[in-house]
Amino acid sequence: MPTRTPATGLVEIFTGDGKGKTSAALGVVLRALGHGLHIHIVYFMKGEFPYGDQKMLSELPNVTFARFGFESFVDPANVKPEEKEQARKALEAAREAMLSLKYDIVVLDEVNVAAAWNLIDVDEVVKLIGDKPASVELILTGRHADPRIIEVADLVTNMVKVKHPYDKGILSRRGIDY
Amino acid sequence: MPTRTPATGLVEIFTGDGKGKTSAALGVVLRALGHGLHIHIVYFMKGEFPYGDQKMLSELPNVTFARFGFESFVDPANVKPEEKEQARKALEAAREAMLSLKYDIVVLDEVNVAAAWNLIDVDEVVKLIGDKPASVELILTGRHADPRIIEVADLVTNMVKVKHPYDKGILSRRGIDY
């Protein structure tokens, strides 16, 4: 029997250069689903790539997601207007989900990168956090979390790469890494 | 249409004092399920507590789990023989799952802690990793990963606590933290 918990919603950040940021957010989602919580995930920079997590999420109850961005990688030195537009729409979607009170948890996947690369303003992310209804949990992922965002978060984990197979020339593997 | 991937199985470690280790492993599991992979999770020190992740996992196809340990927390300064026995059984179960070739991924949840607290020998964990069939991915979680285990791993992320709500006196919250 799923039960809902009147949790105090906090702001969690998974950042750093190591593997596990989006994975950790997804793990929190899986656990929360087991308690009957409702979750919305906004992918800021994932495009239409058939990520395994999205395939699985689309089969689960109580979790929805929206994808923004393009399939091609953003070049931080040469950000395109349409990429900024996508990130702005993602932030709007996240704000709307957060304020709707339909979700216990709203995940902003890769929002830290979007802010670090100036696709969106850090100030707007900080403002969104400031406008958070008390009951909602926000989870922000992505490397390069801005100190101003860390400042207003309740829980911050820095995922530090100790070893990564990329360093040995092993490429990203379907099923495991995406 | 789930597809299975002939991945080269690696050894991944999520360690450190920050939140996100078991969550990251669960996120990898969720993603892998989306690709039709088969997963077995061995909980070394979780007991019978109704964790949300286990509730959810029991409803999903292609993933099974086994729990070892007791509901009460282990006191590392005063480890009980029955706690050692449980950890030993967990390691056996993990080895059996790994060698069965029925699973693409085997998760050893909190195994690092079990080794650090001498519930099991570090050498036995290293030996298990050495006996890994090439196709199987192993994921080891828990703080205090021993340097000898890190040495034989392919991917290691150190989850560093930057901020944690426990520090502000906020307790573990159902649905979010367990």
Q: Which two tokens stand for residue B127?
A: 């030996």
CB contact (8 A) between residue B24 and residue A28: no
The pLDDT of residue B3 is above 50: no
Domain count, chain B: 1
* Predicted complex ipTM: 0.90
Rounded to an integer, the average pLDDT of A114-118 is 96
Residue range B83-115, pLDDT digits in tens: 999 999 999 999 999 999 999 999 999 999 999
The answer to whether residue B4 is domain-embedded is no
Chain B contact set for A41 (CB, 8 A): none
The answer to whether residue B115 is domain-embedded is yes
Q: Among partner residues A5, A23, A34, which is closest to B55 by beta-carbon distance? A: A34
pTM: 0.91
The answer to whether residue A175 is domain-embedded is no
Write out the H or E segment, with its range, that includes residue B130.
helix B122-130
The answer to whether residue B161 is domain-embedded is yes
CA angle B63, B64, B65 (to 5 degrees): 130
CB contact (8 A) between residue B173 and residue A56: no
Other CB atoms closer than 10 Å to residue A22's CB: what's the count?
25
The answer to whether residue B175 is domain-embedded is no
Q: Which domain holds residue B97?
A: 11-168
- We report the CATH number of the domain holding residue A54 as 3.40.50.300
The answer to whether residue A32 is domain-embedded is yes
The answer to whether residue B176 is domain-embedded is no
Q: Considering chain A, what percentage of its residues have pLDDT values greater than 90?
A: 75
The answer to whether residue A100 is domain-embedded is yes
- Closest CA relative to residue A44, chosen from A96, A100, A114, A106: A114
B139, B162, B171, B172, best to mutate vs chain A, most A CBs in 10 Å: B162
Phi, psi of A23 (to 5 degrees): -60, -45
DSSP class of residue A104 equals: S
